[in-house]
Homo-oligomer: A and B are copies of this chain.
Amino acid sequence: MTMTQARSEAATETPSGRLYLDDLHVGQRFASETHTLDEAQIKEFAFQFDPQPFHTDKQAAERTFFNGLAASGWHTAAITMRLNVESGPPLAGGIVGTGGELSWPAPTRPGDRCRHPLLTLRG
């Protein structure tokens, strides 16, 4: 993966540098680094986990619902996790969840830049 550094605006500093749930407050924002997707990455992930023509074959993808190559939604989800781990809130114990909701409102194309700013919504 190609990670390009983006401005960090971690809003909370603790002596250990790690955050506990008590350190989070509603409205707190965390920036993330940026990841640029390219055709090779899109195809590599798709051949392994989501082998459908709109994710694996640029020409065939033009004749599909997507009208062109698009990243698997599970690929962009996985990249989001990477961005969270590397530049999201430095949670003590790690970033662990038991589930959640996902939404893919638009296709992600080769050349698109992904980032994942986080906002604390509930205390």
Contact = CB atoms under 8 A, between A and B. Distances in A.
Interface residues of A, number: 35
A102 interface: yes
B1 A81 contact: no
A74 B73 contact: no
Given A1-B48, A49-B82, A85-B50, A73 B97 contact: yes
Contact of A81 (B74, B85, B103): B74
A67 interface: no
A51 B3 CA distance: 14
Interface of A: 1, 45, 48-54, 64-65, 72-75, 77-79, 81-82, 85-86, 93-105
